[in-house]
Amino acid sequence: MTALEFDVKESAYYSFGSEDSRVVEVVANRYIGANPPLPFIHRAFSTSGIMQNSEGLYLLDFTERYAASPNGSYVYAMALVWSDEERSIDAVMEPLGPISLYLNEQRLYRSTVIEELKPNGSASIPLLFRKGWNSLLIEARKTVAGFGCRFGAEEGKVRILQVLSPFSNRFGQAGWLYSEPCSQSIYGEAQQHFPAYTEHEKQTELTWHPRCEWSEQELLQHHMERLFGYQPNASAIARTMLDVPSNSTAVTMSLHTDGATTIWIEEQLVFSSTTAGSYTEQLQLASSKQLQHVQVWTASGEQHWGFELTFHMNGKELIYTPPMLIHGYSGAWIYAGPLAADAMSALSNESFNPSALIQGMNGKLLYWQLDAPNYVVRPFYENAMLSNKWTVGTMSNYARWDYPLGVTMYGLLRSGKLLGREDMVQYALQHISTCTDWYEYSLWDYEQYGFPSINHQLVLIKMLDNCGSFGSAMLEAYSITGDAGYARIADVIADFILHKLERRADGAFYRLCEGEYSADTMWADDLYMSTPFLIRYAALFHKQAALDEAAKQFILYKSYLFMEDQRLMSHVYDFKYNRATRVPWGRGNGWVLFSLSELLERLPTEHALYEELLSFYREFVQGIVSYQSDNGLWHQVVNEPTSYKEASCTAMFVYGIARGLRFGWLDDAVDYKTVVSHGWNALTKYAITRQGHVHGVCSGSRYSFAPDYYMYDLRTVVNDNHGIGIMMLAGVEVELLRA
């Protein structure tokens, strides 16, 4: 990073000078403006279609689905991906037989015999998505060995690859389509012929699954039977919204039902009957809203199960609309069942909560179904890789749970408090609550469909990255709200860190990661991914063991990673080689100083490890300060002056040293105030623009024993989430120090 990324006139310093709070505010405002509070996208999804495994790979295995088809048969699978901009993602292909993969009608991959026959054989395939719609087509050929493949994104819980169905008649539905087997190759480069994803599927040469159309006879079935099958002594609930003209609240209701039925409109009980029959009622609605929630509870009758319900006003039939926006669904009703026959009382006064699961028969939890067999409502988190028709452009980080956003939410909470901006605080709280409110659903979704559609890292906790940082921000939010949902998730995270996370024989956390490049390693980053959560958990829930563990981990990590001669931390210790990398990556050292300052703030001075940790802090800060560059920034590799200057580590060092001054941990041997001021001013001159854009933050890192990887392979990204939160936090600490 240099001072040349933008002109000095564009810098935050040029406009605001030493007004630190203004810089904090402009960064926070830009982030919130670029990441509006968009809800999860609800889509129609077929439970008879293609599922995923726990790694996020789509199970395009046709061996059993088409067991009767002869060897040599072909099947095609097709899906769409939307990308807001040109972006790449690494995919994994595990062929079970001969496979060809096409992206936008260009063949990217053809399986080899070794990949096809080797158990768990796989290939890594870089996918470059263009801006807009991208089509994926897989051609699978059956052999005695297998038929189909497993395919998806590498590390699918982080690099989320959601796919949508092709063809105009399915627009908005989630999931792959797959064809009936055919005897010869129809599509591909050899034929110079591909299906057009914009046309109706009937215009193609194949029949596609899962089904989306039904015969007249099937549609004439009583609709509860069509969805759930006939079950005596059962009930179900149906939801829609009634579009009521604003000129009146008087409506006529017409109902035919096969069993006992009760109807509420906006939680007003408007009808109840214990028997089947046809009914006409004159109603006076309590609400004058245009769109009003309608809830119907209905029990199975002696022979059939279902109801027909219409409303009229001034002789005109009123229309229904779904109670939530459901892409790929043209109907208006959603259903949940089967429920116990006496479930009505539990539902009578419930307002509509889209994140709530429903108690079914025999304790089984349910979510909403559509008015089509095997089709359900499913919420999706759609990141910047994937968008939808109505939000083309900038997709939001909102409602995503991951570790960089944990720092961002923490930054927004503290910035909002400093600035007196309750709206800023509420934005962060709502982001966090969107994740936690849907936690129960996301666990259920994972159990039902093999891989969660939302809260991927929270559900699939395997390492500290997945839980600690955002969990710490969640506990900051808990100290404000006292939300019981936060507490429950905190217990899950604490149990993982304290009792399930891999440890060395001496008790140190490390990454087992069997079969991966990072197998048997310890990362400096993980002190931030664990310590801030543990110390907050200890304070809020009176768990001394969590605080003791945090202090213990710092001493252990220091023994493995601290380079005494440099007074810096190695990024990684690799137990495969039984040595540290001795590369002091900037942000890795930043994570350590950041979290050590948080630990010292909350660790009682009488704690057995307090003096040792305070001594480490002072020695570490002395080392860091000795490497500050002339313009105030620190380098990407801290002790390598030819490496570029990097913003996120600079902000972390400013944060950690400013806190040392504020809490009195540093002596007067060094002019630390000048160090902090010089570093912060450099960030406002060279890293932060007056519009709040953040430059000079290196992308997420792997590790290497060579500094060249960090210097040349890891490049900077504008508005990378690894840097936005810490810019706010550094500014908050500088403002508090100066105040």
Residue 680 token pair: 């912060």
User: Which of 336, 371, 406 is a domain's end point?
Assistant: 371
Same domain? 658 vs 691: yes
- Using 70 as the pLDDT threshold, list the residues of the chain that sit under it: 1-4, 216-222, 344-350, 383-395
In this prediction, residue 382 carries a pLDDT of 77
Residue 57 token pair: 């790979």
DSSP string, 277-303: EEEEEEEE-S---SEEEEEEEEE--SS
Same domain? 32 vs 52: no
Question: How many alpha carbons lie under 13 Å from residue 70 in its C-beta half-sphere?
Answer: 4
Same domain? 446 vs 507: yes
Residue 215 lies in a domain: no
User: Which of 353, 371, 389 is a domain's end point?
Assistant: 371
Residue 392 lies in a domain: no
In this prediction, residue 246 carries a pLDDT of 78
Nearest to 639 by CA among 698, 571, 703, 578: 571
Residue 696 lies in a domain: yes
Same domain? 491 vs 549: yes
Cα angle vertex 676, ends 670, 679, to 5°?
A: 120
CA-to-CA distance for 52 and 670, rounded, in angstroms? Answer: 57
pTM assigned to the model: 0.93
Residue 388 lies in a domain: no
Same domain? 199 vs 304: no
CA-to-CA distance for 421 and 429, rounded, in angstroms? Answer: 13
Q: pLDDT, tens digit, for every residue of 345-387? A: 556 556 789 999 999 998 899 999 999 889 999 999 875 443 3
In this prediction, residue 3 carries a pLDDT of 45
Same domain? 127 vs 22: no
Nearest to 155 by CA among 54, 81, 87, 60: 54
Same domain? 274 vs 303: yes
Residue 464 token pair: 């500290």
Q: pLDDT, tens digit, for every residue of 423-476? A: 999 999 999 999 999 999 999 999 999 999 999 999 999 999 999 999 999 999
Q: Which domain CATH number covers 278?
A: 2.60.120.260
By CB atoms closer than 10 A (0-12, 13-18, 19+), residue 327 is middle
In this prediction, residue 392 carries a pLDDT of 31
User: Which of 371, 387, 422 is a domain's end point?
Assistant: 371
Same domain? 147 vs 262: no
In this prediction, residue 391 carries a pLDDT of 31
Same domain? 319 vs 249: yes
Cα angle vertex 565, ends 564, 569, to 5°?
A: 55
Same domain? 309 vs 361: yes
User: Domain residues for 332?
Assistant: 223-371
Residue 214 lies in a domain: no
Beta-carbon contacts of 49 under 8 Å, excluding residues fewer than 6 positions away, are 175, 176, 177, 178, 209, 210
Q: Categorise residue 408: left if φ over 0, alpha if ψ from -120 to 50, beta otherwise.
A: alpha
Q: Which domain CATH number covers 711?
A: 1.50.10.10
Beta-carbon contacts of 119 under 8 Å, excluding residues fewer than 6 positions away, are none
Helices (H), 5-162: 12-16, 20-34, 113-117
In this prediction, residue 345 carries a pLDDT of 56
Contact (CB, 8 A) for 553 and 501: no
Please name the amino acid found at residue 244. V
In this prediction, residue 315 carries a pLDDT of 87
Residue 216 lies in a domain: no
Same domain? 176 vs 287: no
Residue 378 lies in a domain: no
CA-to-CA distance for 640 and 674, rounded, in angstroms? Answer: 22
* Secondary structure of 536-551 as H, E, C letters: HHHHHHCCHHHHHHHH
How many domains does the structure of the chain reveal? 3
Q: Which domain CATH number covers 64?
A: 2.60.120
Residue 3 lies in a domain: no
Same domain? 30 vs 47: no
